[in-house]
Chain A
Amino acid sequence: MLRFIIQKHLTLIAAFMVSFVFSTIANAIDIQEVKSEGGIDALLVEDYTLPIIALSFSFEGGVSQDIAGKEGTVRLLSALMDEGAGELDSSTYRAKLEELGISVGFSAGGDRFGGSLRTIREDKETAFEMLRLALNEPRFDGDAIERMRDAIRTSIIRAEADPSAIARVKLRETIFADHPYSRPTQGTEESINAITRDDIVAMHRKIFASGSVKIGVVGAISAEELAGLLEMTFGTLPKEANLQEIPEIKPKLGVVEQIDMAVPNASISLVYKGLSRDHPDFFAAHLMNHILGGGTFSSRLYREVREKRGLAYGVSSSISTREQTNFLIAGTSTRAENKDEALRIIKQEFERMAKEGVTQEELDVAKKYVAGAYAINNLDTSGKIARVLVALQTENLGIDYIDSRIQQIEAVTLEDVNRVARELLSVEPTVVTLGPATQ
């Protein structure tokens, strides 16, 4: 029985004590390691409360695998993976999923190619068979390719006129220059037109390999049942992926770009130094960012920009960690006339953080949040837990991460946070703004 974290013997009175939050999570999810006969690994949380099975998977290789001139291939591939497989054309394949309420989904990320399967227990054999077909025998029929190409082209054209998308492109090109990370994920009108069926088939062959897939499963299925279905679904894929190596890149800082555009709303993005997910100071940085602009109603940026001054509806910052880069990014959108003031206040808060750091009290509050938020945000639905199980593997966090992250958070000191704040934020950021030209 899965009670994700329940330990009823703990008294409820301890609610607000750090120790309570910490110990409940420490007794968290019962994760099983499953291995199929042919060596397909997965993490499983077995639970029969609902007759549902949720599976999440992730292959190495994402949009950054696109070849120059053929940008958008991986994105197009992800749109085609559920458009017919084996003997079933697109309509037949999707009608069958719909009839049984099975969902098969694919999504191309920057560095990885993810997907999911969701089914009611009684349909599990059919569901895994449908996923097997999609992974192993996608059809890439001409009409489906053209339909998806048109849909993506529509989206590309829309993005070209969308101020926030324009600002994102500018930011990416500014900080990543000629690196694959600078490329448009959907491609351009030109590149999307240049992609052939052979390109799509080749990309499929490059990415989908049993050796690189990470799998997480939650729900009404035993380890034995799962092992068999995993072997059937993933076991016939080629062992080795054939991926292009992506070089490491440090985002370019200290650049200021303004895009002149007569729009009512201006957008502001700032990029500072970040750090990698496996850096020993990761949690120190994460806690620092939480205090600065981590998306709650009590962050410094939220208080200064929205609460005190009414300059914007939302403002936040986050640490981005990709396989070959990392950075800290902050942003907001504000009415055009408030742009300069909002930017000034945000920069001021970054400078204050770099110079003065945080207080012990702020850190204590942030630790409680960061420790407790994990369960509340990530463990309340089957699909989310399945994604966590995948992340434990892709990020090399270890099977005991849900426990160990608590200790890692607890171990962070005020000195750590303030040192990290100095190291990451004592730089001139790259700033990209979009809005009406200043007079």
Chain B
Amino acid sequence: MLKLISAFVFLIVASSNAFAFSQSSGLSVSEYTLDNGTRVVVIPDRRAPVVTHMIWYKVGSADDPVGKSGIAHFLEHLLFKGTKTVPQGVFSSAVSEIGGQENAFTSSDYTAYYQKVSPSALKLMMTYEADRMRNVILSDEVVYPERDVILEERSGRVDSSPGGILSEFTQAALFVHHPYGVPVIGWEHEIAKLEREDILAFYEKWYQPWNATVVVAGDVEPEDVLALAKETYGKVVASQPEVKRERIRDPQPVVAKELRYADERVTNPVWRRAFLAPSYNRAEGNEGEALDLLAAILGESVTSRIYKDVVLEKEMATSAGSFYQGTALDSGYFGLYATPRGDTTIDDLETAMEQVIDTLLEDGVSQEELDRARKTFLKSAIYSRDSQVTLARIFGTVLTVGGKVEDVTNWAEKLGNVTVEEVNAVAKKYLIRNQAVTSYLLPKKG
């Protein structure tokens, strides 16, 4: 029930695709705002009698109070524990007894819950989901055993994975002050002390109709969904006024940082480097699009510069590439990674990766590379329409990290406007080695 930050990487690519496609093929998206502020987005896909219903709250781990990390994610678990009128298990049974699927996930910026069911069950899903927006019962009996489950989850995801351990500290080094530096699941010593009252206060503050975005994708008519939404979500009354998310800002990075972690469980070293870069939401002009294209040209495919040079030609890495994490309310980042092949040392591999970047900074990208990257984005965009869950996630994500439906529909045009000069400019502006965070995951001889 948790989407860690690393999993974001996929989303930006997926987002890009939907943006593009909505432009080029008339993907029809309807958007409404209910009187109480709840937004409703409907994306019809009538090929199968299946509907995906999601609710997204604009609150995530970056909104956890200082010293109480893990609350947003903890609360996500507790929303499955029953309400004043719907006892624990009833909602889940309603989903599973018709063969539906359900789950939930938390990120730094959002918390989302979803069910995939037959369309006839949509109303019931909306009824239950609207109910648990305000009526969850958080008793000691459900809170404290669940805290153990979360400690189990953390142990499984982080403690048992050397890469997971290093990632947490790398994130903390990249975001020195901003809460993106705190793990989504929370630090273990803080989770262990979370109290019922802390969670309840968080629930009261954020789980309000003005903070909710409902996304419905599948075999439905937009007007029908709107009517159902009015009947269910529309009746939820806010108990607290709207809160705007304002988070502390990081200083401009000045110092290069290196993290080395050696662990007996590591067999193959991993080299990573991250640069702070603006998210789509914080970017000026075309910077977000330019960073996406830069990541593609540099290292997101078999024809990219890193793959051709470091993997194919120099035969120094089994895998290597780049990515741009631009789906965030606040700062995003640009990442590089590589795993050495054979006898290659991690230092030599680092040098080879740096050479690829240096060459790009010196000579810039070509028009041909830019066109190819753009074409790949647009082509693969069509495929994203094949999955209603993917579409629902794209819209939910974009809308909860500061974007609007129009940002989605204008994306293709903006992508088309990006010039070679703009791609080269973002490369020079953000790929600054002496401001980056580099991590080395290393084997340790027992």
Chain A interface (Cβ within 8 Å of chain B)?
2-6, 12-16, 20-21, 24, 47, 49-52, 54, 90-91, 94-95, 98-101, 118, 120, 143, 146-147, 150-151, 154, 157-158, 160-163, 263-265, 296-298, 306-313, 333-335, 338, 365, 368-377, 379-383
- Report the stretch among B47-55, B128-136, B420-428 that lies at the interface: B47-55
B146 is an interface residue with CB less than 8 A from chain A? yes
**Complex A-B, nearest 6 residue pairs according to Cβ-Cβ distance, in ascending order:** A372-B99, A101-B379, A373-B99, A310-B148, A15-B120, A310-B145
A21: chain B residues at CB < 8 Å are 98-99, 118
Please determine whether B121 and A16 come into contact, CB atoms closer than 8 angstroms.
yes
Please determine whether B155 and A335 come into contact, CB atoms closer than 8 angstroms.
yes
Please determine whether A264 and B159 come into contact, CB atoms closer than 8 angstroms.
yes
Please determine whether B118 and A372 come into contact, CB atoms closer than 8 angstroms.
yes
Between A and B, 16 residue pairs with Cβ closer than 8 Å are A3-B49, A6-B49, A49-B46, A50-B385, A91-B303, A91-B308, A101-B380, A101-B383, A264-B159, A310-B146, A310-B147, A311-B148, A365-B96, A368-B99, A375-B49, A376-B118
CA–CA, A311 to B160, complex, Å? Answer: 16
Q: Which of A95, A98, A306, A380 contacts B48 (CB 8 A)?
A: A380
Contact status of A334 and B386, CB under 8 A, knowing A12-B120, A151-B319, A375-B48:
no
CA–CA, A382 to B390, complex, Å? Answer: 13
Please determine whether A162 and B265 come into contact, CB atoms closer than 8 angstroms.
yes
B266: chain A residues at CB < 8 Å are 161
B259 is an interface residue with CB less than 8 A from chain A? no
B355 is an interface residue with CB less than 8 A from chain A? no
Chain B interface (Cβ within 8 Å of chain A)?
46-50, 80, 89, 92-93, 96-102, 116-121, 124, 145-149, 151-153, 155-156, 159-160, 219, 264-268, 301-303, 308, 311-312, 315, 318-319, 339, 341-342, 372, 375-376, 379-380, 382-383, 385-389
Please determine whether A51 and B382 come into contact, CB atoms closer than 8 angstroms.
yes
CA–CA, A310 to B143, complex, Å? Answer: 11
Please determine whether A382 and B386 come into contact, CB atoms closer than 8 angstroms.
yes
Q: What is the distance, in angstroms, from A351's C-beta to the closest C-beta of chain B?
A: 24
Please determine whether A296 and B160 come into contact, CB atoms closer than 8 angstroms.
no
Please determine whether B100 and A376 come into contact, CB atoms closer than 8 angstroms.
yes
Q: What is the distance, in angstroms, from A184's C-beta to the closest C-beta of chain B?
A: 15
A160: chain B residues at CB < 8 Å are 267
Contact status of A368 and B46, CB under 8 A, knowing A50-B385, A147-B315:
no
B387: chain A residues at CB < 8 Å are 380-381
Please determine whether B97 and A369 come into contact, CB atoms closer than 8 angstroms.
yes
Q: Which of A308, A309, A383 contacts B386 (CB 8 A)?
A: A383
Please determine whether B48 and A3 come into contact, CB atoms closer than 8 angstroms.
yes
CA–CA, A369 to B145, complex, Å? Answer: 28
Q: What is the distance, in angstroms, from B390's C-beta to the closest C-beta of chain A?
A: 9
Closest chain B residue to A102, Cβ basis: B379
A2: chain B residues at CB < 8 Å are 47
B151: chain A residues at CB < 8 Å are 335
Contact status of A313 and B149, CB under 8 A, knowing A12-B120, A371-B99, A380-B387:
yes
CA–CA, A1 to B90, complex, Å? Answer: 37
Closest chain A residue to B142, Cβ basis: A307
| Interface-centre pick from A150, A335, A370 (highest chain B CB count, 10 A) | A335
Q: What is the distance, in angstroms, from B144's C-beta to the closest C-beta of chain A?
A: 8
Please determine whether B383 and A370 come into contact, CB atoms closer than 8 angstroms.
no
CA–CA, A160 to B92, complex, Å? Answer: 39
Q: What is the distance, in angstroms, from B7's C-beta to the closest C-beta of chain A?
A: 17
Please determine whether A376 and B101 come into contact, CB atoms closer than 8 angstroms.
yes
Other A-B contacts than A120-B379, A375-B118, 5 sampled, CB-CB below 8 A, are: A3-B48, A5-B48, A12-B119, A147-B311, A376-B116
A308: chain B residues at CB < 8 Å are 145
CA–CA, A217 to B160, complex, Å? Answer: 41
Contact status of A52 and B386, CB under 8 A, knowing A47-B47, A98-B302, A335-B151:
yes
B80: chain A residues at CB < 8 Å are 297
Contact status of A310 and B149, CB under 8 A, knowing A95-B302, A297-B102:
yes
Please determine whether B92 and A296 come into contact, CB atoms closer than 8 angstroms.
yes
CA–CA, A47 to B385, complex, Å? Answer: 14
B160: chain A residues at CB < 8 Å are 163, 263-265, 333
Contact status of A94 and B49, CB under 8 A, knowing A335-B152, A365-B97, A373-B100:
no
Please determine whether A98 and B100 come into contact, CB atoms closer than 8 angstroms.
no
Contact status of A150 and B386, CB under 8 A, knowing A91-B308, A335-B152:
no
Q: What is the distance, in angstroms, from B249's C-beta to the closest C-beta of chain A?
A: 34
A296: chain B residues at CB < 8 Å are 92, 96
Q: What is the distance, in angstroms, from A333's C-beta to the closest C-beta of chain B?
A: 5
Please determine whether A376 and B312 come into contact, CB atoms closer than 8 angstroms.
no
CA–CA, A338 to B155, complex, Å? Answer: 12
Q: Which of A3, A99, A147, A162 contacts B375 (CB 8 A)?
A: A99
Closest chain B residue to A4, Cβ basis: B48
A15: chain B residues at CB < 8 Å are 98, 118, 120-121, 124
CA–CA, A93 to B148, complex, Å? Answer: 51
CA–CA, A204 to B444, complex, Å? Answer: 39
B388: chain A residues at CB < 8 Å are 380
Q: What is the distance, in angstroms, from A329's C-beta to the closest C-beta of chain B?
A: 19
Please determine whether A154 and B318 come into contact, CB atoms closer than 8 angstroms.
yes
Please determine whether B268 and A158 come into contact, CB atoms closer than 8 angstroms.
yes
Closest chain A residue to B1, Cβ basis: A313
Please determine whether A98 and B301 come into contact, CB atoms closer than 8 angstroms.
yes
